A and B are shown apart, each in its own frame.
Chain A
């Protein structure tokens, strides 16, 4: 135990030294007058970075620090007061703290297959049964007589959680599903496997995979906005209380007309 205490004090020393060095450097550079910190969902992160950059350009002296970590980390960090704003790409769960939600954008989740797959679309019910492991061959949903390779995200991913909420309901994704740790890795896996099915954020859909129509509705931003495409999740900024001062200004900017035009440019769906 003595050794652990020693180890801790060494870590504390290094951390302090780094912080002091950062402050000194920031001071020399005539650092920003005020700073906002954001952490959380890696789906929100690229959008938040773009919004922060635009806000900083309009408000000299303001510095906005954007970090990843995942939705769960974002929720925990903002509740603990470590950051001003938490990012989440899913609804809060009942056992999670009660935070103030600011809807930033919506993001559709596309169900994707290899481009050579002849299936035009599936019903949400069929998608549930495939990911739960009840349907195991493409012929069972009108396709070729080949097995279905189910590819999902790892546990803890906001995209997986949102998929579970909007598609799976009470059913569990089958234990034998192949797991890939990012949207990009899912794309690589699906685009190299003619039997595969997977799910990715709308922002990642490209020519290497085919996005299936769900319940007869094509996976487009338009359909997600109108509410006819069924698999859509919210992207939130979270604050512990009603935001004040600079944090309020930044959130108002993001949800206002200028921020929302960036949302559309980045391939997401408008909040309202």
Chain B
């Protein structure tokens, strides 16, 4: 009976495996939502999300500066990381000779494994002083964006490279046979065909960037202000939670869970938007 038993029940086993991650996600979502309810009730949801004053010791909880801070460093990082990452992926997949690729690819993969506190430290000791030369204290949106660029590049590069390589060979051969140059083939055929994979890499990169706490605490300055220039200090949502959770109790702690809820929603929104955009792109 055993062989048939296994065969019949294997699907239930993998179903259990698959549902674990969903259960964990649901448990986390419910837990942070429940913990944040006292803060939402006390402060009022709209004042919590769109308020600009965050002074926990005075009972003021307005998290808009942190939302702006997270979006600013993430957008800044993407402006730099997308062209750099896709360019590097094209080099690795299409242009570089085999030996160069053998050297570059592991280097990119090592970058993924570096802990974020190390990125933060390097940012604090190298990037912040350079930004200070331009103006301000150096602890800034710009420093945060530069550090995040380094952190998300490997994700974007490796996923983009894989998806460019996965483009069927006949697309490339067809384009070349029609008289397109190598570069025209890459730009007008390979990249559009690999678009959904490149998009997936970018979404993963955004997810890592917006959730990063440690490195951002070390280089953004953590001031709860809506930045008006890239040289201004800022505080991200994830950084804000990590900075204050050690000291928080009561309504303050609940408010930090509230920040967690908003961060959760922002990440879900970005992912869904990106998915919709990619589907549209493929349909066209």
Are A and B a genuine interacting pair, yes or no? Answer: yes
Residues of A bordering B, CB below 8 Å = 3-4, 7, 10, 42, 68-70, 72-73, 76, 147, 149, 154-157, 161, 175-181, 185, 188-189, 192-193, 195-196
> Please, which residues of chain A bring their CB within 8 A of the CB of B31?
7
- Does B283 belong to the interface (CB within 8 Å)? no
Residues of B within 8 A of A188 (CB): 124
Which residues of chain A are near B222, meaning CB under 8 Å? 154, 178-181
Q: Which residues of B contact A181 (CB under 8 A)?
A: 217, 222, 242-243, 246
Is B119 located at the chain interface by the 8 A CB criterion?
A: no
List residues of chain A with CB within 8 A of the CB of B243. 154, 179, 181
Q: Which residues of B contact A176 (CB under 8 A)?
A: 223, 225, 232-233
Interface string of B247-280 (1 = CB under 8 A from A): 1111010000000000000000000000000000
Contacts of A149 in B (CB 8 A): 132, 137-138
- Mark interface residues in B43-82 (1 if CB within 8 Å of A CB, else 0): 0000000000001110000000000000000000000000
CB-based contact B124/A7 at 8 Å: no
With A70-B249, A147-B137, A149-B137 given, name 8 new contacts (CB 8 A): A4-B30, A7-B27, A7-B30, A7-B34, A154-B222, A179-B221, A181-B243, A196-B137
Q: Are B244 and A155 interface neighbours, CB within 8 A?
A: yes
B15-51: contact bitstring with A at CB < 8 Å (1 yes, 0 no)?
0000000000011001100100000000000000000
- Contact B246 A42, beta carbon cutoff 8 Å: yes
Please tell me if the beta carbons of B250 and A70 are within 8 angstroms of each other in the complex: no
- The residue in chain B whose Cβ has the minimal distance to the Cβ of A185 is B218
Q: What is the CA–CA distance of A93 and B249 in the complex, to the nearest angstrom? A: 16
A-B contact pairs, 23 of them (CB 8 A): A4-B34, A10-B27, A68-B246, A72-B249, A73-B249, A149-B138, A154-B222, A154-B243, A156-B56, A156-B246, A161-B57, A176-B225, A176-B232, A177-B223, A178-B139, A178-B222, A181-B243, A181-B246, A185-B218, A189-B124, A189-B139, A192-B124, A193-B137
- Complex interface: chain A residues within 8 A of B244 (CB): 154-156
Q: Which of B30, B132, B137, B139 has the most CB of A within 10 A?
A: B137
Specify which chain A residues have a CB less than 8 angstroms from the CB of B218 in the assembled complex.
185
**Minimum CB–CB distance for A255 against chain B, Å:** 26
A248 to nearest B CB, angstroms?
27
Give the top 4 A-B pairs by smallest Cβ distance, nearest first.
A156-B247, A179-B222, A70-B247, A178-B221
- Given A76-B249, A177-B223, A179-B243, also A155-B55 (CB < 8 A): yes
- Tell me if B153 counts as interface (CB < 8 A to partner A): no
Contacts of B132 in A (CB 8 A): 149, 193, 195
Closest beta carbon of chain A to B140's beta carbon, Å: 10
Interchain CA distance A189-B233 in the complex, whole Å: 14
Size of interface on B: residues with Cβ below 8 Å to A: 35
Pair A73/B247 contact, Cβ less than 8 Å: yes
- How long is the Cα–Cα vector from A176 to B221 in the complex, in angstroms? 9
Q: Give chain B's interface secondary structure class.
A: helix
B129 located at the interface, meaning its Cβ lies under 8 Å from any Cβ of chain A in the complex: yes
On chain B, the residues within 8 Å of A180 by CB distance are: 217, 222
Question: With contacts A154-B222, A156-B57, A185-B218 known, is A193 near B246, CB below 8 A?
Answer: no
Chain B residue with the shortest CB-CB distance to A41: B247
Closest to B34 in A: A4
CB distance from B226 to the nearest CB of A (A): 10
| Chain B minimum-CB-distance residue to A156 | B247
Chain B residue with Cβ nearest A69: B246
B125 interfacial contact with A, CB 8 Å: yes
| Neighbouring B residues of A68 by C-beta, 8 Å | 246
A189 cross-chain contacts in B, Cβ below 8 A: 124, 139
Closest to A157 in B: B247
A192 touching B129, Cβ below 8 Å? yes
Q: Could you give, for residues 115-153 of chain B, a 1 whenever the CB lies within 8 Å of some chain A CB and a 0 otherwise?
A: 000000000110011001000011100000000000000
Is B159 an interface residue, CB under 8 A from the partner? no
With both beta carbons as reference points, the residue of chain A lying nearest to B250 in the complex is identified as A76
- Note all chain A residues with C-beta closer than 8 A to B55: 155
In the bound complex, residues from chain A placing their C-beta under 8 Å from that of B128 are 192-193
A175 touches B225 (CB 8 A): yes
B238 touches A (CB below 8 Å): no
Is B224 engaged at the interface, CB distance under 8 Å to the other chain?
Answer: yes
CA of A175 to CA of B227, assembled, Å: 12
A249 to B34, CA, bound (A): 42
User: Which residues on B sit within 8 Å (CB–CB) of A178?
Assistant: 137, 139, 221-223, 233
A188 to B138, CA, bound (A): 14
- Contact: B246 with A70, CB < 8 Å? yes
Contact residues in B for A161 (Cβ distance below 8 Å): 57
Mark each residue of chain B from 90 to 113: 1 if its CB lies under 8 Å from any CB of chain A, else 0.
000000000000000000000000
- Give complex CA distance A188, B246 in Å: 20
Residues of chain A within 8 A of B232, CB atoms compared:
176
Whole-angstrom distance between the Cβ of A130 and the nearest chain B Cβ: 13
CA distance A156 to B250 in the complex (A): 12
